[in-house]
């Protein structure tokens, strides 16, 4: 995620990092070159009696803009829901530990439970990003638990099971009453809801046929656009064509990024920073000293 201080409107025009222009530059350059070729070919296809007008492009442009708006809204809704789920995970993790420390003030093994919570957050993050996990999780889980986690179809769900087993052990030892155990178990159910919500977003993309028809229509529109502009604009055709194409192609590219909010692109959620926040908060609540530094945006304002 790009975390940038507010800029003057003039500087925003020239911002590069965080803009989808980085991804679309080659396509826009191709459109510019093609527009020049259309200018060169103008006398040839005019002699053939081929003439384009702006009327069909105006109608098609409005239709594309409407459908791109619908798709971007759908993808942004996925992004917002994903951020809400991770915010809920942060809140529930803090509340769960606070309740555990309140009802088990003399418990010497709270650190084990904290590491299970931290392991869950990192495991969920890396599962959603399809990244390798053993080295990271080995910092928080013992060898036996680590093997059990990776033998599971859903590693994060198995860590949640280990958290439930930890609470069940305290209950069998008589440290937790049935009512307190039920209250804490409800917190685990809240975390399970977050897990299910994230898996639903990650495993259910926007229907492919809907994305495909928009993608094809946008690029067909941008390819044919210079033919509709060249008669009236002539040498200004490349500049106006690139400007219009930038709007449509950029919206299409931005929707692709927002569709998967758990990725590593500039406009995706900063899951590393969220996990870092959860880890710092939980360790500080347990008065531990080995607290990692807070993650900050890099020189390009990117917070991963």
pLDDT in tens, 77-103: 999 999 999 999 999 999 999 999 999
Across the chain, which has 304 residues, the per-10-residue mean pLDDT values are: 76 77 90 92 74 80 89 93 96 95 84 94 94 85 90 92 94 90 94 96 90 91 89 88 92 90 90 94 90 84 78
pLDDT value at residue 108: 77
Domain count, the chain: 1
Rounded to 10 degrees, the C-alpha dihedral 187/154/116/277 comes to -80
Asked whether residue 4 is assigned to any structural domain, the reply reads: no
Asked whether residue 299 is assigned to any structural domain, the reply reads: no
pLDDT value at residue 136: 85
Question: In this predicted model, what pLDDT tens digit does every residue of 226-239 receive, in sequence order?
Answer: 988 888 888 899 99
Asked whether residue 301 is assigned to any structural domain, the reply reads: no
Tell how many helices (H) and how many strands (E) occur in the chain.
11, 0
What is the spatial distance between Cα 224 and Cα 38, in angstroms, rounded to a whole number?
10
Residue 18 has φ and ψ, to the nearest 5°, of 95, -15
Asked whether residue 192 is assigned to any structural domain, the reply reads: yes
Strand partners, 302: 2
What is the spatial distance between Cα 125 and Cα 81, in angstroms, rounded to a whole number?
15
Contacts of 303 (CB under 8 A, 6+ apart): 1, 2, 3, 270, 272, 273, 295, 296, 297
Residue pair 17/302 in contact by the 8 Å Cβ criterion: yes
Question: In this predicted model, what pLDDT tens digit does every residue of 178-211 receive, in sequence order?
Answer: 999 999 999 999 999 999 999 999 999 888 888 8
Asked whether residue 300 is assigned to any structural domain, the reply reads: no
Residue 302 has φ and ψ, to the nearest 5°, of -95, 125
Asked whether residue 151 is assigned to any structural domain, the reply reads: yes
pLDDT value at residue 79: 94
Asked whether residue 290 is assigned to any structural domain, the reply reads: no
Residue pair 255/71 in contact by the 8 Å Cβ criterion: yes
Closest by alpha carbon to 61, among 209, 249, 230, 235? 249
Asked whether residue 297 is assigned to any structural domain, the reply reads: no
**Residues of the domain holding 184:** 9-285
- 3-class secondary-structure state, position 262: coil
């Amino acid at each position: 995620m790009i975390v940038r201080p507010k800029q003057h409107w003039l500087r925003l025009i020239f911002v590069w990092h965080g803009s989808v222009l980085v991804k679309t530059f080659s396509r826009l350059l191709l459109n510019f070159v093609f527009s020049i070729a259309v200018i060169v070919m103008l006398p040839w296809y005019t002699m053939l009696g081929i003439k384009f007008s702006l009327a069909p492009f105006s109608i098609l442009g409005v239709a594309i803009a409407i459908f791109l708006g619908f798709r971007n809204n759908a993808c942004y809704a996925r992004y917002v829901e994903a951020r809400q789920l991770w915010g809920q995970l942060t809140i529930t993790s803090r509340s769960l530990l606070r309740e555990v420390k309140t009802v088990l003030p003399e418990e010497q093994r709270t650190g084990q439970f904290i590491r299970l919570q931290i392991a869950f957050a990192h495991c969920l993050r890396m599962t959603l990003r399809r990244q390798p996990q053993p080295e990271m999780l080995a910092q928080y889980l013992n060898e036996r638990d680590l093997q059990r986690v990776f033998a599971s179809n859903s590693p994060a769900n198995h860590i949640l099971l280990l958290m439930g087993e930890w609470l069940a052990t305290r209950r069998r030892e008589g440290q937790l009453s049935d009512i307190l155990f039920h209250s804490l178990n409800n917190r685990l159910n809240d975390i399970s809801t977050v897990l299910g919500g994230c898996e639903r977003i990650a495993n259910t993309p926007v229907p492919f046929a809907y994305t495909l028809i928009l993608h094809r229509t946008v690029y067909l529109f941008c390819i044919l656009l210079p033919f509709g502009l060249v008669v009236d604009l002539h040498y200004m055709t490349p500049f106006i064509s690139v400007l219009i194409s930038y709007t449509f192609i950029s919206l299409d590219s931005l929707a692709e990024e927002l569709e998967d909010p758990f990725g590593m692109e500039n406009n995706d959620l900063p899951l590393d920073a969220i996990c870092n926040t959860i880890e710092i908060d939980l360790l500080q609540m347990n008065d531990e000293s080995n607290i990692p530094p807070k993650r900050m945006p890099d020189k390009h304002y990117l917070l991963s």
